[in-house]
Amino acid sequence: MSAPTRPGGARSVDELLADARSRLRRIGPLEAAARMAAGAVLVDIRPAAQRAAEGGVPGALVIERNVLEWRFDPAGDARLPLVDGYDLDVVVLCSEGYTSSLAADALRSLGLHRATDVVGGFHAWVAVGLPVA
């Protein structure tokens, strides 16, 4: 079965991902842990079923992907109390580091200029021996 013809102007998910990552300075799990220790907010965007199967990061803020922008828009009515400006240090974590790149780029589009994500995601976090709950 051949792939359908892409409409004009449409991009592949690989293109979207590369575009998002071109605007990020992505970090490894050790740097993410160090930033978290220095006050950064580590945001775990994995769905509940994935967190239940894989585990979680102690101290991470769990905000599922479908509401991330609403909770982190400094000008939005649905923002979290900790989102008090545009200089918040936010590190986004997903399972393998793909969805988190798109999410971190969305936060940067909201003006959170320090937002980034973890290369390799939760799996990389575990692989380097960082704490898991």
Per-residue pLDDT of the chain (133 residues; tens, 9 = 90+): 788 898 999 999 999 999 999 999 999 999 999 999 999 999 999 999 999 999 999 999 999 999 999 999 999 999 999 999 999 999 999 999 999 999 999 999 999 999 999 999 999 999 999 999 9
CA distances from 41 to 2, 17, 96 (A): 44, 23, 19
Are the beta carbons of 120 and 99 closer than 8 angstroms? no
pTM of the model: 0.94
Q: What are the boundaries of each domain within the chain?
A: 32-127
- The pLDDT, as a whole number, for residue 2 is 83
Residue 78 has which token pair? 């649905």
Structural element, H or E, at residue 116: strand 116-117
| Tokens describing residue 106 | 């969305």
**What's the CA dihedral at 131, 36, 109, 5 to 10 degrees?**
-20
**In the β-sheet with 41-44, what is the strand arrangement from edge to edge?**
61-62, 41-44, 90-93, 116-117
Q: Which fold has domain 32-127?
A: Oxidized Rhodanese; domain 1 (3.40.250)
